[in-house]
Amino acid sequence: MSGIFYGIGVGPGDPELLTIKAYRRMKQCTTLVFPSETRENCYAYQIVKQICPEIEEKELLFFDFPMKKEKDELAQIHDAVYKEIQKRLDAGEDVAFLTIGDPFVYSTYIYIQKRAVADRRKVETISGVPSFCAACARLGIALGEGSEQIHVIPGSYEIEESLKLPGTKVYMKAGKKLEELKRLLQENERKSAEIYAVSNCGMPEEKIFYGLDEIKSEEGYLTLIIVKDKN
C-alpha cells in the first residue's frame, strides 16, 4: 500500500505556533522533506527541532529549490525531488513536506503536491499560521476590517502597479526588493498610508518597524511589509 504524502505548515517562526495536528502528523511520518539544501539554512527545520526533537530519529531529506523563473529548468528540479518522495511512498512510508507559514501560500510545496495528485497519491495538507497574520498580531494592527480589501503580493515580482490597489497591501519576502519598495513608497508620498514591517517574525532575530523611515534596506529575505490605507 502506498504511503500518504503530507504538506505541513510549521508557521512563521515561533515554534509554539505549530499546530497540534501538524505535530501529530510529523511524528507519524517516516520521512520529513525540507525545502533547503542544508539543515543549517532551513527555516522550517530550525523551527520544528525546537518543539519536536524526535525528528532527528527520522529520515530527513533536504532539497535545494533555487529562486529561478525558467519553467523548464524548475520543472526538472521539481520532478527530481518528487522522484525521491515517490520511492518512499511506493515503499509504504508516510512522507511530510515541511514549509514555513502555510503550505498553500507561495510555497515550494505546491509544485510537489501537484505532482503527487497527478500521480494519484493520497495527499493531505495541514495549514500553518501565515506570516502576515502573525506579523499583524505582533504589530497589534488589523489586517483588514469592515469593507477593506486585502492584497497579498510576492515581494520578488513587479510591485509598482500594486501600490495603486485600495485597502491593505502585504508584500511577502520583500527582502530583495526593499530598496525599490522604499523608493516607490517615498516617490508616491504615501502620506495617506500607514507603513509597517516585520523581519523574521517569531524568530530570535525578529525586528519590528513602525513607519517607512525605520525600515532598513539591508533587512533579510524574510521581511514582510504592510501598507495600510488610512481610514
Whether 120 and 36 have beta carbons less than 8 Å apart is answered as: no
Question: What does the pLDDT read at residue 42?
Answer: 95
SS3 content of the chain, % helix, strand, coil (to 5): 35, 25, 40
- Helix, coil or strand: residue 95: strand
- Return d(Cα 21, Cα 210) in angstroms, integer: 34
- Return d(Cα 207, Cα 20) in angstroms, integer: 27
Which structural domains are found in the chain, ordered by start? 5-126 (3.40.1010.10), 131-229 (3.30.950.10)
pLDDT in tens, 130-152: 999 999 999 999 999 999 999 99
Whether 101 and 107 have beta carbons less than 8 Å apart is answered as: yes
CB < 8 Å & 24+ apart, contacts of 141-148? 141/194, 141/196, 141/226, 141/228, 143/168, 143/170, 143/226, 144/168, 148/229
Question: What does the pLDDT read at residue 191?
Answer: 62
pLDDT lower than 50: segments of the chain = none
Question: What does the pLDDT read at residue 189?
Answer: 57
